Amino acid sequence: MLPEFGYGIALVSFLVALYSLITAVYGATRKSTSMVESARRGMLLTFPLISISAATLIYLLVNNHFEVSFVYEVTSRSMPTYLKVTAWWGGQAGSLLFWSWLLAAFTSAVTLRKWERDFEFLPWVIAICSVTLLFFLGMVIFYENPFTRFWLVNGNVEPHMFQPALATVFTPQDGNGLNPLLRHPGMVIHPPMLYLGFVSFVIPYAFAMAALITGRTDDRWIRLTRRWSLWAWLFLSFGLVLGGRWAYDVLGWGGYWGWDPVEIAAFMPWLTGTAFLHSVMIQEKRGLLKHWNMILVILTYALVIFGTFLTRSGVLSSVHAFANSPIGPAFMIFVSSTFITSIALVIYRWPTLHGETEMKSMLSREALFLLNNLLFMSVLVICFWGVMFPLVSELFTGQKVTVGPPFYERATAPIFAALMFLMGVAPLSAWGHSTLKTLGRAMWKSALIALVVTVILFATYTQNIIALIGFFLIALVLLVTAQEFWRGTRARQRAQNENFFTSLTRLMGRNRRRYGGYIIHISMMLMAIGILGIEVFQSSTQGELAQGESLNIAEYTVKYRELASWDDQGKGVNFTRAVVDVYENGIYLGELTPRIDFYFDSQQNMTIPGNRSTFRDDLYIILVDWQPTTAMGATFKIYVNPLVNWLWIGSMLFLLGVIFAAWPDRDPAEETSRRGVTRHASQPSAAD
């Protein structure tokens, strides 16, 4: 009964979303306020409806209803309850429902804001959101139904939603269990974060489309969605970082990022989103780049859908697992039609999107922001082409190829270096006008100190040229950014007669986005230190040890003490745990316990490294293999990952920076752009 109920509610919410779409479009074209109001109510109703459907699924998951095929696939009796709940997004069908639920939540939130001034946007925002919602709910209802049950039909077990004639429900004894890799805490919150990021980018897109459809193509849609974009970007970035941390902790290959197509699929919307956040500022400050912002937000949306399609279906990474799924063509059709329609709209509205001012110099801040956009787009092109190339190659030459890290690293490294250089220059350039001379005057001190730092590093730490270029750029950006804080505070101090800290906090508080942005730049540099460390300086060794033997790497000695292997029936896991003693230059530092967990239900191994983390480096030990009979010999792989901790420190600061920039102001009127003041005489609004 319950599965039918959950399915039925999903179906009802689908119909309600359809109703909202129709009334919204009808209301907009007929200028009927009551129709639009009705559409808005319908949209608000989808959220509780999908919540009920989702709650039903969670109930089924938690209570071991293995007759439901999705429950059978992703849970087992031995799993703890919280993992049974998170198994909701651990499989295809459930995660599509999860996506729908998040989208309904965001859409409801956006329809709840005050709309008085922007009422003509409302129906179209509802329409765009409901089209997306309809697509995902449609996937759930027609293709990937999480409520399907097993039925015994003529002695065969078949999955069906509704009872076939003369069939009885078939309930397996136990489920397959969630893929052990997905049981890590990082993986429990990584997908929701990623999806939050994905889903929240739908909102700026919906506003952009509303602006195009209504012809109100000034920068109002951008100001209305500024916060949304920032939060979306925050979630997406956080999702990516968590994914990296998860990979570092459980995948056992000593790294955090493998340029896997699935990772790249999540990275691509981040690239366009980041470009968007920068170029949006040009439109706000200078009224330029309206076309480009539209294109960026459309690209982001298309890549979000495309990315979901790739992550959920694995069309590129493992073509064959996907072959039977019908959702591929559906996604394909949806992505193509929304993308083509959006681009057609941009072309149609092209004349109204022209810039209002001109640029004054090739070195002005807006010109440098454009360069930044070009660089982000370049990384996007490389990523997209790298992901597509195996497909293209198989199509034209019949030859399967792998496009792995060496390609991406070679192709993107110079671009990332150029981006870092821009981070060092752009904050010093002025909106509207800058010359080489003014830039040079603002920069030379920082550049000189950065050079000195690099020379010191050359003498004491490394002679690697890539690392030295990297460290020079990192030092440059850090210094320039620090100088920005310093000079801003000093200037304010002079003007306001405040003490230094009051000045600093007020300065930052008054211009959250700028100084939040600078915090993000600093955090990016900290992350760059970690990335350089692992990319350039990582070293590793592997060897089979008998008890009491040791391996040496860098200053470390790793001595194998003992190993134990035992079953934990309650958890359904066999643990094999080695204990090693770690010495640095002969001084005892402590023990580490790398282990291998073998999950009975899914018959899969999980390698948990033993990791000793300091600011200088990580000692990362993996238990590769052992001799089960004697428990004597064991093979260890040991990595030394210099500086990698700065990657995680940087990520934390990064989050703070974005939250600082995106945090709602107490008084919205305080937050006005320079043009906004005169042009749109203060429009306080909830979304702002």
Partner 1 sequence: MKKFLYTLAFIFFLTILFTSAALAQDNIVTDDEVNAVAHQLYCPVCQNTPLDVCPTDACRDWREQIRGMLAEGKTEDEILQYFVDQFGDRVLAAPPVTTTFNWLIYILPAIIILAGAIILFRSLKEWTTPKAVAAGSGAAGTDASSPKDEYVARLEEELKKQK
Partner 2 sequence: MTEEETTNTKRGVPIATQVVVWVFIVGLLALVAFGLRRAQNPMAVVGKPVPDFDLVFYEGYEYNGQKEMKLSDLKGKIVLINIWASWCKPCEQEAPDLQEAWLSYKDGSDVVFVGVDYVDTPAGADEYLTKFNISFPNAPDLKSNISSILNRQMGVPETYIIDRDGILQKIQIGPFASVDDIHSMIQSIE
Binding residues for partner 2, rule: CB under 8 A, are 216-218, 315, 319-324, 328-329, 332, 335-336, 339-340, 343, 347, 350-352, 354-356, 388, 391-392, 394-395, 400
DSSP one-letter code for 250:
I
* Vertex 666: Cα angle to 663 and 669 (nearest 5): 105
Nearest CB to partner 1, comparing residues 210 and 426: 426
242 vs 194: CA distance, rounded Å: 9
C-alpha closest to that of 409 among 264, 238, 271, 297: 264
CB 261 to partner 2: min, Å:
12
Nearest CB to partner 1, comparing residues 108 and 605: 605
- The entry of partner 1, partner 2, none near residue 351 (CB within 5 to 8 angstroms by kind) is partner 2
CB 120 to partner 2: min, Å:
13
Within 603-642, which residues bind partner 1 (CB under 8 A)?
A: 605, 607, 624, 635, 637
CB 374 to partner 2: min, Å:
18
Nearest CB to partner 1, comparing residues 542 and 593: 542
Q: Quick check: 12 and 56 in contact, CB under 8 A?
A: no
Nearest CB to partner 2, comparing residues 49 and 353: 353
Q: Quick check: 99 and 123 in contact, CB under 8 A?
A: no
- The entry of partner 2, partner 1, none near residue 339 (CB within 5 to 8 angstroms by kind) is partner 2
Q: How far is CA 98 from CA 63, 103, 314, 335, 386, in A?
A: 19, 9, 18, 19, 29
Nearest CB to partner 1, comparing residues 591 and 625: 625
Q: Which residues contact 569 (CB under 8 A, 6 or more apart)?
A: none
Nearest CB to partner 2, comparing residues 230 and 289: 289
Per-residue x/- mask for partner 1, residues 523 to 552, rule CB under 8 A? -----------------xxxxx--------
Q: How far is CA 492 from CA 429, 441, 462, 478, 497, in A?
A: 19, 21, 41, 21, 8
- The entry of partner 2, partner 1, none near residue 414 (CB within 5 to 8 angstroms by kind) is none
The two tokens of residue 404 are 């792995």
Q: Which amino acid is at 220?
A: R
Residue 499 in the binding site for partner 1 (CB under 8 A): no
The two tokens of residue 509 are 């508080």
Interface with partner 1 (CB under 8 A), residue from 74, 167, 210, 371: 371
Interface with partner 1 (CB under 8 A), residue from 157, 401, 448, 546: 401
Within 664-683, which residues bind partner 1 (CB under 8 A)?
A: 674-675, 677-679
CB 573 to partner 1: min, Å:
16
- The entry of partner 2, partner 1, none near residue 117 (CB within 5 to 8 angstroms by kind) is none
The two tokens of residue 637 are 């792989």
309 vs 92: CA distance, rounded Å: 10
500 vs 485: CA distance, rounded Å: 11
The two tokens of residue 57 are 């699924």
Residue 10 in the binding site for partner 1 (CB under 8 A): no
C-alpha closest to that of 58 among 96, 94, 4: 94
Nearest CB to partner 1, comparing residues 330 and 359: 359
- The entry of partner 1, partner 2, none near residue 378 (CB within 5 to 8 angstroms by kind) is partner 1
**Neighbour tally for 624: CB within 10 Å:** 16
Interface with partner 1 (CB under 8 A), residue from 171, 378, 462, 464: 378
Residue 400 in the binding site for partner 1 (CB under 8 A): yes
CB 200 to partner 1: min, Å:
28
- The entry of partner 2, partner 1, none near residue 174 (CB within 5 to 8 angstroms by kind) is none
Residue 105 in the binding site for partner 1 (CB under 8 A): no
Q: Tokens 């239900």 identify what position?
A: 601
Nearest CB to partner 1, comparing residues 389 and 416: 389
Q: Quick check: 314 and 262 in contact, CB under 8 A?
A: yes
Q: Quick check: 372 and 278 in contact, CB under 8 A?
A: yes
- The entry of partner 2, partner 1, none near residue 168 (CB within 5 to 8 angstroms by kind) is none
3-state secondary structure of 114: coil
605 vs 624: CA distance, rounded Å: 11
370 vs 363: CA distance, rounded Å: 10
Q: Which amino acid is at 566?
A: W
Within 248-277, which residues bind partner 1 (CB under 8 A)?
A: 252-254, 258-261
67 vs 30: CA distance, rounded Å: 49
CB 565 to partner 1: min, Å:
16
Q: How far is CA 103 from CA 50, 62, 201, 636, in A?
A: 10, 24, 10, 45
- The entry of partner 2, partner 1, none near residue 261 (CB within 5 to 8 angstroms by kind) is partner 1
Nearest CB to partner 2, comparing residues 291 and 506: 291
CB 125 to partner 2: min, Å:
19
The two tokens of residue 366 are 């807006």
CB 101 to partner 2: min, Å:
27
User: Between β-strands 556-568 and 550-553, what pairing exists: parallel, antiparallel or unpaired?
Assistant: antiparallel
Q: Which amino acid is at 477?
A: V
User: Between β-strands 149-153 and 156-160, what pairing exists: parallel, antiparallel or unpaired?
Assistant: antiparallel
CB 351 to partner 2: min, Å:
4
Residue 286 in the binding site for partner 1 (CB under 8 A): yes
Within 469-488, which residues bind partner 1 (CB under 8 A)?
A: 487-488
CB 382 to partner 1: min, Å:
5
Residue 385 in the binding site for partner 1 (CB under 8 A): yes
Nearest CB to partner 2, comparing residues 150 and 331: 331
**Neighbour tally for 306: CB within 10 Å:** 22
Within 299-338, which residues bind partner 1 (CB under 8 A)?
A: 317-318
CB 354 to partner 2: min, Å:
5
C-alpha closest to that of 262 among 330, 194, 328: 194
Q: Which amino acid is at 320?
A: H
Nearest CB to partner 2, comparing residues 196 and 210: 210
113 vs 106: CA distance, rounded Å: 11
CB 637 to partner 2: min, Å:
20
Per-residue x/- mask for partner 1, residues 338 to 357, rule CB under 8 A? -----------------xxx
